[in-house]
Chains A and B, each alone.
Chain A
């Protein structure tokens, strides 16, 4: 398979197929999974063939299609070791997740098609991100993952928690994504290219004074996506999604994007003096904080989510500690996390599904009912705790070794890394034990007996495979190191990875491990004795609540501000802005105009003016009808007067030989008139008859009249000035000349709309549709009186008018 074909199949096929999947889902219901699973399978196989072709350290195939060359935005892909490694994880996990979801989502759920469409879209966006060569393209896919995950997290949108979780995830990840975009733009200015391939070999990037800023901005994006402190708040709240989503987003993929971006940036920025302190401090703080929060949490998925936050901290921090030659075992740590966290999430889903319980304090004693699930869970928990015989053990030993070696290299940062890694490892042992013991051992809770129904066995296959991999590679790590060697990337990694061994002898790492396991066990025993009464997240650590309150407060702030400045009455603002404009612009004209050469031109302009009798009459009639709007007092009369103005305006266009404008004007006027008439019917008759007119002139009226006359005169003068000096190269004749040869149409107005400025037209009609949706939404959200609210959640019939008797009965 050629590289281009592989990329097309892996990234673009699922991207395009998401829509048909949604459509197919209407017919197939829960069986959609068995159709949709073909997509991750195809992606996985094509990426696998690409990986098998690639030589370790050999040239990376160049896959490129032009997209928007003027922006420097190509569909350029970089299928190097890093990209393929992540791509294989994403698509491979995708296969497992689709399989799992096919068994997990039963007929209680609705919208199966939509679910798998989102999932497919998400996978395609992820693959696009990790394989992009062009940074802008990477950003496009990056944000697409955010949107897809927003849709997935909010999938059960009837639930308050789902909506809030989705909103928080989107605000945090998309907001930080914008920072990354700013960083990308800066990086392009510095390096002169958007291609990662070229940036990695561009010399002198770090000498640029803005390099540090670009680095910080891009890292902000990575930290937001990977839920690093202080952005860690969104991840546990995203747990409101169905479990397959949690397993996919949080074990394998989306949250690892930050890790991926850090790895991509490593070769470019690693030598920057800010890199180690920034990446290290944030990440290791997250490591410790996440682990502590996981221990304090009580809900199954929350425990797993916080432990993910913690592990992500380690994965990112690992790049902060890297030496000049590159890092060594990052793939092992990532893969290890995929194995155990993926299976744990799926197992948690099975447990929740079987018992309808989420709180670990209510669970217990499930071993007798589900021994197989318990065994798989035991392996996964052992891997999370880092017990020997699992990949978790390998990962932890290597982690401790590198951390112990590093304080000499990194000074204070190294010590902070040691402290946080050691403390975290201890806590991890504790909550791994707690998870297993809390679910499977001990007495069976009363609510478990009530709800329990056994899961079907096929749903167990994906977690079994993942946990099995953790076990097999944990016992025979030689296969793993041979495989990982293939994905080594120059600049990121040391040239050859050292062999992995199960047993390194009794050294300080092993002794530390033993001590940690012992301490963790003691912690669990103490906690169980105290019935985990102290395990409650303290108020000052609930920053997600603070965030929520902030977002909610924004609406109230806007409302308060609106009330405070009193913009409810636009007339008042009109007066102020018009006065301001007359004083500023009119004042400037009054002072400067007499002395400037413009005056001469103005005189010349007026003398050139061709005074056509008919046009003068029409203009006078227009002025008269405008006066009518002011003088007349009842609404219908004013409306007629205003329409007369509009139709006379049409006539004026006709006199200037502008039939297109005239046609548009007359039709727009007609539709507007109907709209206003329809709206007027809403108002009570007394309002339509107009306000009581004050016959005597007041100061206020005189002032308003003055401003109005001043504004009108000023605009007239500006119009005259504008036309006083014709442009040397007016664009109009060009369009009339070009319309036939270029657009093959005789009507220049229409060819401008359709051909020359087609993008504008597209934008305008899009705005039109969005405005319509906004209006419809606003109609739902307007003020309701208590009686109206009592009429139902959808609001009352009519906008404040009385119900018809038969309609009231119908409701």
Chain B
């Protein structure tokens, strides 16, 4: 760990990380009946992640959590898409939500619905997008390469010219790059 980081902040952030995530999931679960829901829960979770990465450092954070945040966002989008298409399988209009009421021994009446899957998708998208953007910008502000080595190929083709290079002789620019590389 970078010695310049505060140890107290690190410990607090680690402890709070779990507390905040319990809160986030709680907010997600109660969303349909009380203030909360996927968007809010997702933001709480994102804050927990960002706090932890501020405490640990951007690079260490990447070694702790190896999932690309952008993938989390894609999974979320896919999940909401599934809840949109799901009802069509049984011949209902898309995005129709279903609720079931269960009587459970200790919890009492329990509402379970496809709305939860939809909300969870929103949750994941919000977490993924905000964590990804802040981590990328944060890395860059610490003088690191904004993208990890594996991500390089994912978001832009290496062969593309920067916008500012349009209008110049593209061959010259590329040659220059080749020479340097």
Residues on A lying within 8 angstroms of B by beta carbon are 157-158, 160, 552, 555-556, 559, 659-660, 663-664, 667-668, 670-671, 674-675, 678-679, 681-682, 743-747, 749-751, 753-755, 758-759, 761-762, 765-766, 768-769, 771-773, 775-777, 779-784, 789-794, 796-799, 801-804, 807
Contact digits for B131-156, partner A, Cβ 8 Å, 1 yes 0 no: 01110111011111111000010011
Nearest-neighbour CB distance to chain B for A650, whole angstroms, equals: 13
B50 contacts chain A at the CB level, 8 A cutoff? yes
A793 interface neighbour in B132, B137, B158, B166, Cβ under 8 Å: B158
CB pair B47 A671 closer than 8 Å: yes
In the complex formed, the residue of A with least CB distance to B145 is A797
B84 interface neighbour in A674, A675, A758, Cβ under 8 Å: A758
List chain A residues, Cβ under 8 A from B181.
792-793
CA distance A796 to B157 in the complex (A): 15
List chain B residues, Cβ under 8 A from A678.
134, 137-138, 141
CB pair B143 A798 closer than 8 Å: yes
**Chain A CB within 10 Å, residue with most, of B50, B122, B140, B159:** B140
CB pair B35 A663 closer than 8 Å: yes
Residues on B lying within 8 angstroms of A by beta carbon are 27, 31-40, 43-44, 46-47, 50, 54, 70, 73-74, 76-77, 80-81, 84, 95, 97, 99, 111, 113, 115, 118-119, 121-122, 125-126, 128-130, 132-134, 136-138, 140-147, 152, 155-164, 166-167, 176-177, 180-181
CB pair B50 A674 closer than 8 Å: yes
List chain B residues, Cβ under 8 A from A664.
39-40, 43
In the complex formed, the residue of A with least CB distance to B88 is A67
CB pair B119 A754 closer than 8 Å: yes
CB pair A747 B133 closer than 8 Å: no
Once A769-B129, A776-B70, A781-B163 are accepted as A-B contacts, the answer to whether A747 and B177 lie under 8 Å apart by CB is no
List chain B residues, Cβ under 8 A from A782.
162-164
CB pair B43 A674 closer than 8 Å: no
In the complex formed, the residue of B with least CB distance to A743 is B97
CB pair A667 B44 closer than 8 Å: yes
Query: Which 10 pairs of residues, A with B, have the shortest CB-CB distance?
Result: A780-B156, A667-B43, A797-B145, A745-B32, A746-B33, A776-B155, A659-B35, A681-B141, A790-B180, A744-B99
CB pair A761 B36 closer than 8 Å: no
In the complex formed, the residue of B with least CB distance to A683 is B141
Nearest-neighbour CB distance to chain B for A115, whole angstroms, equals: 18
10 additional contacts (CB under 8 A) given A743-B32, A798-B145: A745-B33, A746-B32, A750-B119, A753-B39, A753-B122, A754-B115, A765-B80, A771-B129, A776-B70, A789-B176
Between A and B, 7 residue pairs with Cβ closer than 8 Å are A664-B43, A743-B32, A746-B33, A747-B37, A749-B35, A772-B132, A779-B146
CB pair B122 A777 closer than 8 Å: no
CB pair B95 A762 closer than 8 Å: yes
List chain B residues, Cβ under 8 A from A679.
137, 141
CB pair A675 B34 closer than 8 Å: no
Once A745-B115, A766-B77, A794-B145 are accepted as A-B contacts, the answer to whether A776 and B137 lie under 8 Å apart by CB is no
A784 interface neighbour in B125, B129, B162, Cβ under 8 Å: B162
CA distance A746 to B137 in the complex (A): 39
Nearest-neighbour CB distance to chain A for B88, whole angstroms, equals: 9
